[in-house]
Structure 1
């Protein structure tokens, strides 16, 4: 039945719009009505009356009324009259009374919203207007299940408002919350705890869902109330009895976990954990093998993990105090949990096992700190090792070709186990090495008949030793230690027992990963290289039937060759002929699927380059091999570019451009093989790369697909500048001309680093070219920056910001490379135009990164042109524009002196002032004191102070002073 008295006058038409299926017109009206009720001084009272009288049966209307009420309490409580505040309290209590009388409870979403409103009212009024909040509610609801449900939901909502650490609170709210908790502890917590006990006792059979809710409440509150109210025989026995009730056991477990997790004195914590463990053990909960409910066991494992970690924490605290007796007792308590830990760790369900890893990890950390290990502790370590080895194993259901959520979870779980293995290696490396050796050797002897997961994990363990045992990779095979010989034996077995032929992708991958992890082994025993090379090159590796294996092996092969290139001389031509088909460019019209993706092919080209360059062949042979590697790419490029120029269909154009980009990328990647010692010239490869440049550069003037083509050719030029040095210079002017034609902001932004690289590398060699290209480039930048864009187009705004930064960096490179003439020879008008953009960049754009660059440039220009024999008219420019920039920029509201990047900008600004003083001397000081600083209304005392600091030799003093100067000026 509904509680009914008088009808509140509400806009019935607007209420129709609350139904989710209502049309837009009604929904709009409902929203407007909601805003009206929220903002009105007293219109919301109709909602209060509707809730108090229960006249509406529609759930959406009830929810709406609570929302209106929530808004009043949350945002307008202080402005309500005493009568209105009283009305809210009465409304809530009347609504609650209705719940006691209704046969059916409200829907959960309404009960949750009501609980939120109760909690908000509590937070606002408990300390002042409603100290008897809990007593009023408890006396009303008694043990009525509908009432108890709202009471428990309200407690959870209060926890969210007052206690939950994940919710950010202001300092005022934190102070208020502390006061609320203190008052609750004094006034009502014992009564609340008593009510929880009554609820748990009364409802555990008839209303398990209420009991679970109550257990959750106890778990939430236990962290900040007196533990003795909960951790006593009466309460704990009740919780333990509920651990045996199927519907309650998981929540009871969670509740015990929260009790155990409560911060307390280490000796008391050990006693609490021990007493809990005794009761749990005598009740049969430690017999993990007999428990079939895996969901419960996952919770139980979490509880044991909490108890174990609490004991570790107690032990750590006690060990620091030097309390020998209590420390020993806590360690004993800890050790007694290890049999249970092992049962849970080795459980076939990974969730149960994962939940105990934390305790296991910390237990091993304790053992690591002990001066000596007992036999029992060594036995424990071995048992943990065996458990970890067992649990690392894949199960039959793992889907290697299409990994989903379950597979991702197992990968994460494996990472946790790896942490345990690393910790085991720290505690007892000899034991771990011996255990892995035993498992590995036994499995490799029978790999043909073993299941894939056994073989995979045996190889995986050998791989994991590389990180677990403290040594650099090379050191694994140097020195005459037990470890070296054990690892060497295992590697010898791995590469000679034939396991590389095992027909499962996980084993194949693990084999190659391990071979590359221990590539230094082959320096010690190079006789195994031919066998392993064949594994890489045939159907076990690069021609495996799994694309995933082929892809990974392409990368691993490149790493293997890089490390062992000195040992490859005898095999170079054989390898190159065997990978020939993997180096072919797959044109877009080819119907067949290539063995490797273009990304994988990059590694193959790099590998081929490394083999050719580092071989011991005569120069002519290297030259011939490199040409035969690159010539097919050039031929294909010419052919495809001609096709692209004739193609009209967008999709085909994109596919052809993609293929052209790959050809350039592959050629570029071969050059990675050249080191500083082994230049392209010494290998006789200059000519073939010059031919590549000649082949690729025409793509820059291709009218279609400009973006990808320019990008790939530009990257190739970057590489060639590094490899070919001045040989590349003849190609630069034409390339630049093409790249500056019809370019967008992004093209320019990517082109500038190329010009900067050339400038920094060749300096005066490229001065004539730079003088020629300087203004065309600058004008192209100005044009791109001036292009209008939509106000809200953030991508365009960011593109312009990045271009502006690139432009300033380019000017900085030129001024900083000692090429004064590049800018000096641009004509007075152009110079002025450029320098004005630097002033503008320093002052007008709130981008500290660009501003810092601008001040560096200004400082350099003052150094170059600001002296007695500098550029004509420049000293005048300094006083008119550069000095004001040094003051106007830091005075801008956007110049944030609490930002680290901005402070760096200010430092450069200070250095600019210092440079002006260095170049102009007393004249500058006089200008500041008599003209400029008075115009900024700076007092004579401060002016004098600033000028004195400017004349001191210590720049650090100036930087600190300038910061303080502008901080004061901005107050």
Structure 2
């Protein structure tokens, strides 16, 4: 070992020594030295390679050798051909010494893994140019032994496989395939590396694929033959493949076959002989061979998915005879029809068998669906697929969910085939299927039964709903499986609506009948069965494609046709008999099945009534029976917090969606009674987590974290909705509204804190935030005003105005806290949407309260809020906008002048830029542009205009630029006069057009905007392949065309005599540009030419 190698070895020993006897400085010094060695890999690799080769007594530790090998690996890209050739030769000499003559690194797994990875790296840089014999050299090691070994040979047979070199060979083959063909690794590779991988795969296919494939199958055959041969001790145990070694090699070889079947010639990997070998592997009877069988299933799955012509694939499936194979294997782990207590390996094998069935089935369906497939191939594929359907049903109902899920794609594929057959026969949804035959109907019936059975919770399942973000992994997986099963059921419903309706209706009615007969009390009816019936009812309407009130009654075709013909005609659904869905809803409501004592049942019932709220338009008498169920221990007063939170939302949705029905059925006294029943839920409790000391950061984090309170806000919203329907009794309406709001506002005033220093202070501010949000949610329950009717009337408006004043007064005192500003902004947004102009006079005070303390993200939200007010209230908001414009714009200027230090800053700047541009667009879109040149603001108009071009030009992203040019386009349309030469004749009516309120605005566009139209897209970083950038070009095209249309020859003269010369654009480039601009009918038509012109004149991309 040379001096450098000894130093590296010693440094590794010090760096990895956990002993406290090693000084920290010494350990840091060792790490620093090793980093220097790695950084200088081009100079140190030879010493490191020598260090790696030194092993045995007096040699380096394995840890030092692994570090050395890492350094050599990092040096490979910089080595020349001669050095690589020497290294490759030395590597194979090492293979011979260590794996033929030696102990194969004593079987130490991490060393063998590192050696394999290094060998694959050497392959990448040497094959085929430097080391064309890479694979043949490996193959030569397979049956090579030390001379002293008792190797049986004859003149007619070769030596048996050497277990050590065979293991090395398979490991390297796997690593090579992983390096050059793995789909996941490919995602993170450069285009150059992907090209290199393609070249290597092509070289292997041309030079070595046949020998590699032959060797793999030879290893599999010899290993399988030795799986039951007893192990031997000593040197005899290292000769040939026997026992445990044979089983390990067989598993590895089968997996390697799976690696290569995906990308080398299919004729090398798939032949009757090789398939026979795989079938032999998958049928191995010994429990010790379960991992071989599992690996074989993986390889078969890979094989059946291999791309090939339909005729070849069908031949493959004939050879595989998957139906017979799986029919014999389907009992694995299910002997006697029961799920045996087998090992996880057995369960995994069964799941892989299901995946194999799925792979064959989906491939057959592809052949059937492919219009290019010959008719005889389609027929053969159809017959094969049909023969596999009993297996599909068997695996679909497997107790192990992973196994069942594995065949879902096959089920959906075959149903897709059936749907297309029905469509081709001219039948649509809810129509009989002319292609239906008894065997198909029998399959669909069994498939529906199996689908429904798998949608049920297991008998031993523990149901536990979690709050958002806290979902249990098993519950999430079950929900996803149920969703996929519902898709299968819906497809059955589309193909045979009658079969589906009969099957599902029977399950639901049978369950309800049993419940009404006392089945819940005597144990005959479990919560799982009732929940399943309600889940099926929940999906019934979607499956049979029924929506609206018409879903619940049998509407004559003549009525439907009349409603289509006569726009004013309204069907009176109450005069018709109930449909199947209507009958099911009637039975479910009458049975009071919601009272079953399990949260899963009551919650699923509430999900049903919310989805089918239109049913209560036909049977409104159930409203008064349903509302108490929502209020009792099955609903809003559920003991389980997560269920309670979900019911809060569902009750809110039901009251909102069925508001008209509720209004007709519910009196003021009943609303009072409901609110009384909700009273304990209309109390706000808030406390910061005690896991860390309170601070403003903790306060902000807690307010922004989804919690139970977010669900409770739905209760306040529901209270608002219930009160809002009492317009006909305004006195009671005001009393009830004050009864809800006054306690919140009084509590808010008690929790006002101008500063916070103690835990009590921070908790008070946190509660104040919640109280403001709660009061605002009450307003959210009232209907939003429309743009056509922006004024609300009624005594209740004064109650909200008073509430707003209280919130504003509290917010002014606590404006230094971001959570209070956020809550106040939410409150104003909601209350303004409900009360309209009544609270607009408070907006300036509110904005003044915010602006001094506002942060970057808050300002973008504030601009959005103001933009909505501008769009909704237009001239009614003009006076307020006139007051607010400069303070708000100045805050925008301040924040956008701050330096950009990283990605987060860039995102914040971009968001605020777009919000600012949108704010200006909102003003112009509402025709309030006069605010820019009012007496208060006209001196600042130039600054606002320059800010637009500045923010387009500097540090902006493509979306920002698109919005910015959009602003310029809008202002151009309203502020640029139509050009009229001084010599032009007077207009026909003798009057001149009204002058622009911003005289000379076109000069600003000439001097600032036109320049940007070329500067921005000609920058090196402008990406023409990006969709957002192409939209920027579209806005530029519209701007230039609009200028031409508005200013005519003046603009042409400016471009040709002033602008193009100023940017050194030669006439041979500018002339076609102006011709295309003038000939294009509009900016959209000019867009394509402009993009190509800009790309050409920018020159090649960097």
Q: How does 1:239-278 map to 2 (within 5 A)?
A: 239-242=281-284, 244-247=286-289, 248-277=292-321
1: distance between equivalents of 2:710 and 2:599?
Answer: 20
Give the match for residue 435 of structure 1. Answer: 503
2: distance between equivalents of 1:794 and 1:272?
Answer: 54
1: distance between equivalents of 2:845 and 2:856?
Answer: 20
Q: Select 2:335's aligned residue among 279, 290, 293.
A: 290
Give the match for residue 540 of structure 1. Answer: 634
Segment of structure 1 superposing worse, 700-709 or 545-554: 700-709
Q: Once the 2 structures are TM-superposed, how far is the Cα of residue 216 of structure 1 from its aligned partner?
A: 0.9
Deviation readout 1:463-498 (Å, 9 max, x if unpaired): 222322222243421325999633233222211223
Q: Once the 2 structures are TM-superposed, how far is the Cα of residue 156 of structure 1 from its aligned partner?
A: 0.6
Closer, same or farther: CA 558–374 of 1 in aligned 2, 3 Å:
same
Give the match for residue 584 of structure 1. Answer: 682
Q: How does 1:235-384 map to 2 (within 5 A)?
A: 235-236=277-278, 238-242=280-284, 244-247=286-289, 248-277=292-321, 281=325, 284-288=328-332, 289-290=334-335, 292=340, 293=342, 295-314=345-364, 316-317=366-367, 320=371, 327-370=378-421, 372-384=435-447
2: distance between equivalents of 1:736 and 1:701?
Answer: 10
Query: When the two structures are aligned, how many residues end up with a matched partner?
Result: 959
Give the match for residue 146 of structure 2. Answer: none
- SS where residue 666 of structure 2 aligns? helix
Closer, same or farther: CA 822–566 of 1 in aligned 2, 3 Å:
closer
Q: Once the 2 structures are TM-superposed, how far is the Cα of residue 678 of structure 1 from its aligned partner?
A: 9.1
Give the match for residue 193 of structure 1. Answer: 217
1:520 pairs with 2:607: no
- SS where residue 531 of structure 2 aligns? helix
The runs of 5 or more residues in structure 1 that have no matched partner are none
- SS where residue 44 of structure 1 aligns? helix
1:557 pairs with 2:651: yes
Q: Once the 2 structures are TM-superposed, how far is the Cα of residue 935 of structure 1 from its aligned partner?
A: 2.0
Give the match for residue 811 of structure 1. Answer: 920
Deviation readout 1:570-619 (Å, 9 max, x if unpaired): 4343244233314523254899xxxx943233222332333333357344
1:846 pairs with 2:956: yes
Deviation readout 1:485-527 (Å, 9 max, x if unpaired): 3323322221122321111111111111122222222222223
1: distance between equivalents of 2:926 and 2:4?
Answer: 85
Q: Once the 2 structures are TM-superposed, how far is the Cα of residue 555 of structure 1 from its aligned partner?
A: 1.4
- SS where residue 446 of structure 1 aligns? helix
What value does the CA root-mean-square deviation take over the aligned residues?
Answer: 3.6
Closer, same or farther: CA 34–855 of 1 in aligned 2, 3 Å:
closer
CA contact (8 A) 1:200 1:214 kept: no
Q: Select 1:637's aligned residue among 748, 754, 771.
A: 748
- SS where residue 927 of structure 2 aligns? coil
Give the match for residue 16 of structure 1. Answer: 13
Closer, same or farther: CA 369–881 of 1 in aligned 2, 3 Å:
closer
2: distance between equivalents of 1:633 and 1:533?
Answer: 25
Q: Once the 2 structures are TM-superposed, how far is the Cα of residue 162 of structure 1 from its aligned partner?
A: 2.4
Give the match for residue 1097 of structure 2. Answer: 969
CA contact (8 A) 2:687 2:766 kept: no
2: distance between equivalents of 1:471 and 1:106?
Answer: 66
1: distance between equivalents of 2:610 and 2:204?
Answer: 62
Give the match for residue 178 of structure 1. Answer: 202
1: distance between equivalents of 2:203 and 2:261?
Answer: 18
- SS where residue 775 of structure 1 aligns? helix
Closer, same or farther: CA 178–631 of 1 in aligned 2, 3 Å:
same
Q: How does 1:712-723 map to 2 (within 5 A)?
A: 712-723=823-834
Closer, same or farther: CA 696–255 of 1 in aligned 2, 3 Å:
same
CA contact (8 A) 1:634 1:695 kept: yes
Q: Once the 2 structures are TM-superposed, how far is the Cα of residue 675 of structure 1 from its aligned partner?
A: 6.7
2: distance between equivalents of 1:52 and 1:766?
Answer: 83
1:855 pairs with 2:858: no
CA contact (8 A) 1:756 1:813 kept: yes
- SS where residue 208 of structure 2 aligns? helix
- SS where residue 694 of structure 1 aligns? helix
Give the match for residue 419 of structure 1. Answer: 487
CA contact (8 A) 2:1037 2:1087 kept: yes
Compute the TM-score of the two structures, normalised by the length of structure 2: 0.80
2: distance between equivalents of 1:210 and 1:938?
Answer: 71
Segment of structure 1 superposing worse, 4-13 or 409-418: 4-13
1: distance between equivalents of 2:1074 and 2:937?
Answer: 35
Q: Select 2:474's aligned residue among 401, 406, 414.
A: 406
Give the match for residue 91 of structure 1. Answer: 91
1:822 pairs with 2:931: yes
Deviation readout 1:786-844 (Å, 9 max, x if unpaired): 45x6x645434433333333233333333444334322234665233222222212322
CA contact (8 A) 1:315 1:331 kept: yes
Q: Once the 2 structures are TM-superposed, how far is the Cα of residue 917 of structure 1 from its aligned partner?
A: 4.1
Q: How does 1:1-80 map to 2 (within 5 A)?
A: 11-17=8-14, 19=16, 21=18, 25-26=26-27, 29-30=30-31, 32-33=33-34, 35-36=36-37, 39=40, 41=42, 43-55=44-56, 56-73=59-76, 75-77=77-79, 79-80=80-81
2: distance between equivalents of 1:268 and 1:898?
Answer: 40
CA contact (8 A) 2:554 2:578 kept: yes
The runs of 5 or more residues in structure 2 that have no matched partner are 144-160, 187-192, 227-240, 422-433, 557-575, 690-706, 980-994
Q: Once the 2 structures are TM-superposed, how far is the Cα of residue 562 of structure 1 from its aligned partner?
A: 2.5
Q: Select 2:457's aligned residue among 394, 406, 420.
A: 394
Segment of structure 1 superposing worse, 488-497 or 640-649: 640-649
- SS where residue 1057 of structure 2 aligns? helix
- SS where residue 213 of structure 1 aligns? helix
Give the match for residue 1039 of structure 2. Answer: 912
1:799 pairs with 2:801: no
Q: Once the 2 structures are TM-superposed, how far is the Cα of residue 660 of structure 1 from its aligned partner?
A: 3.1
Give the match for residue 891 of structure 2. Answer: 780
CA contact (8 A) 1:500 1:511 kept: yes
Compute the TM-score of the two structures, normalised by the length of structure 1: 0.90
Q: How does 1:590-669 map to 2 (within 5 A)?
A: 597-615=708-726, 617-641=728-752, 649-669=760-780
Closer, same or farther: CA 359–49 of 1 in aligned 2, 3 Å:
same
Closer, same or farther: CA 689–16 of 1 in aligned 2, 3 Å:
same
CA contact (8 A) 1:609 1:673 kept: no
1: distance between equivalents of 2:613 and 2:253?
Answer: 60
2: distance between equivalents of 1:15 and 1:660?
Answer: 62
Q: How does 1:646-725 map to 2 (within 5 A)?
A: 649-672=760-783, 681-703=792-814, 705-725=816-836
Q: How does 1:449-488 map to 2 (within 5 A)?
A: 449=523, 450-479=525-554, 485-488=579-582
Closer, same or farther: CA 305–361 of 1 in aligned 2, 3 Å:
farther
Q: Once the 2 structures are TM-superposed, how far is the Cα of residue 159 of structure 1 from its aligned partner?
A: 0.9
- SS where residue 44 of structure 2 aligns? coil
Closer, same or farther: CA 952–237 of 1 in aligned 2, 3 Å:
closer
1: distance between equivalents of 2:1009 and 2:323?
Answer: 81
Closer, same or farther: CA 881–324 of 1 in aligned 2, 3 Å:
closer
2: distance between equivalents of 1:589 and 1:219?
Answer: 58
2: distance between equivalents of 1:70 and 1:647?
Answer: 59
2: distance between equivalents of 1:197 and 1:483?
Answer: 71
1:205 pairs with 2:243: yes
Give the match for residue 935 of structure 1. Answer: 1062
Q: Once the 2 structures are TM-superposed, how far is the Cα of residue 633 of structure 1 from its aligned partner?
A: 3.1
1: distance between equivalents of 2:465 and 2:720?
Answer: 32
Segment of structure 1 superposing worse, 631-640 or 386-395: 631-640
CA contact (8 A) 1:364 1:424 kept: yes
